[in-house]
């Protein structure tokens, strides 16, 4: 009987002890296992720098000894920006690889497809997908440390309408939720600031000809275009607008890397003072406070993970705040982190400076999108990449 009572007492004590790192999936005494999900193959692999940026930072942290005695181990999984493949990849990460959380996940369609699984199992997610519905309304384990389509759509429209006399706006967009996340919010801004949407034209994923769309934009009399398009289709549209010499401002969404788009045009003259994107960073890429992260990318990424030609581009920098916030939350969660304590640690961040983004990160129980303020980037009249606070107002030292 005494032995039986002892066993019962032991079980009761075990149930009373709060969950610790020992019982938290993905946490051991020495490691934190992260699932890095993204399009490592197929046409959407242009987004993989969003996966490599945070990985470089985790390797940098590991070299400094990790966090609270633990180092990060990454399990990569390819979703090819395909929902079915993404669900299968996420299931493997969660149920076979036993990751603590999923990071990066640039493709909104995949993020929305796996969200029910994440919420059901309480798996933390910090991603770069732009669809606002991923983190709104708030789910306990889902966080955006980067800008969603709401912030970016407003930034696109406000910058374009900052040019004196610009009131007639055209939309060129995919028909999916990702594009609506940008263009619907741009539309709301235009209409609330006495502007007019004069044309809406569809350019779907995989399109290689934008002639009809360009001519529709020309016929509408639009002065600016909100291009809620992924990078390949944005380049198609810009080439058609250039071919017909249509004089409009084009604001691209964050489904494209600004530097890669510009590199696709051997002659930049048409893009000068015409093509812009919302800009996420506090300085020009690779300069000022961002020089530190350039050096991290170059040191900690392999040759295959870096650009084939040139320096690390926009998406590398845009991805790295995911890891910066993740690491800071583990620091704040203490030596025995659980999923709940890690999530509370993210929510404790107030005016937290990543050193990368134009805005500081502020979260809370009812706010799981950390940043709002953005700039814009474009080529000035001389063809130099320039960061602007608003139309005609360049950041110091950005030209």
Asked if the peptide bond before residue 168 counts as cis, ω within 30 degrees of 0, the response is no
Residue 46, pLDDT above cutoff 80: yes
Q: Where are the domains of the chain?
A: 11-147+287-347, 150-279+375-394
Say which CATH class 11-147+287-347 falls into. alpha beta
* Closest C-alpha among 174, 198, 176 to residue 187: 198
Would the pTM of this model clear 0.95, i.e. be above it?
A: no
Quick check: do 11-147+287-347 and 150-279+375-394 share a fold? yes
Does the domain at 150-279+375-394 match CATH 3.40.50.2300? Answer given as: yes
pLDDT of residue 398: 61
> Using CA atoms, how far apart are residues 27 and 74, in angstroms rounded to an integer?
12
Residue 8, pLDDT above cutoff 80: no
pLDDT of residue 3: 39
Residue 136: C-alpha distances to residues 144, 149, 214, 311, 350 (Å): 10, 11, 34, 35, 19
397 against 316, higher pLDDT = 316
* pLDDT grade for 399, boundaries at 50, 70 and 90: low
* Closest C-alpha among 48, 52, 29, 44 to residue 323: 52
Which residues neighbour 141 within 8 Å (Cβ) at sequence distance 6 or greater? 118, 119, 122, 123, 124, 125, 339, 343
What would the pLDDT profile of 66-106 be if each residue is shown by its tens digit? 999 999 999 999 999 999 999 999 999 999 999 999 999 99
What would the pLDDT profile of 315-328 be if each residue is shown by its tens digit? 999 999 999 999 99
């Amino acid at each position: 009987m005494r032995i039986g009572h002892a066993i019962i007492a032991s079980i009761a004590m075990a149930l009373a002890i709060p969950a610790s790192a020992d019982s938290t999936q993905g946490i051991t005494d020495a490691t934190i296992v992260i699932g890095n999900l993204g399009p490592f193959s197929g046409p959407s692999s242009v987004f993989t720098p969003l996966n490599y940026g945070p990985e470089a930072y985790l390797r940098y942290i590991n070299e400094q000894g990790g966090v609270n005695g633990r180092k990060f181990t990454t399990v990569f999984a390819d979703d090819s920006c395909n929902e079915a493949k993404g669900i299968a990849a996420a299931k493997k990460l969660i149920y076979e690889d036993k990751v603590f959380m999923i990071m990066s996940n640039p493709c909104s369609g995949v993020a929305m497809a796996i969200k029910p699984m994440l919420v059901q199992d309480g798996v933390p997610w910090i991603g770069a997908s732009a669809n606002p519905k991923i983190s709104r309304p708030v789910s306990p384990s889902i966080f955006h440390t980067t800008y969603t389509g709401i912030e970016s759509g407003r930034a696109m429209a406000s910058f374009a309408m900052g040019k004196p006399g610009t009131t007639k706006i055209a939309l060129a967009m995919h028909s999916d939720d990702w594009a609506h996340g940008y263009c619907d919010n741009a539309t709301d801004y235009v209409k609330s600031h006495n502007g007019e949407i004069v044309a809406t034209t569809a350019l779907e994923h995989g399109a290689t000809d934008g002639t009809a769309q360009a001519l529709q934009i020309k016929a509408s009399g639009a002065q600016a275009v909100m291009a809620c398009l992924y990078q390949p289709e944005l380049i198609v549209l810009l080439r058609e607008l250039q071919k017909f010499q249509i004089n409009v401002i084009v604001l691209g969404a964050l489904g494209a890397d600004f530097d890669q788009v510009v590199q696709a045009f051997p002659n930049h003259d048409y893009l000068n003072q015409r093509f812009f994107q919302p800009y996420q960073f506090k300085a020009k890429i690779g300069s000022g406070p961002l020089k530190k992260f350039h050096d991290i990318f170059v040191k900690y990424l392999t040759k295959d993970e870096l650009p084939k030609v040139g320096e690390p581009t926009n998406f590398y920098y845009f991805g790295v705040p995911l890891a910066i916030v993740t690491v800071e939350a583990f620091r704040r969660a203490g030596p025995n982190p659980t999923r709940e304590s890690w999530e509370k640690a993210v929510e404790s961040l107030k005016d937290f400076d990543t050193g990368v983004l134009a805005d500081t990160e502020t979260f809370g129980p009812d706010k799981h999108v950390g940043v709002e303020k953005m700039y814009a980037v474009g080529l000035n009249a001389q063809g130099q990449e320039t960061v602007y606070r608003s139309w005609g107002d360049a950041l110091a030292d950005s030209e």
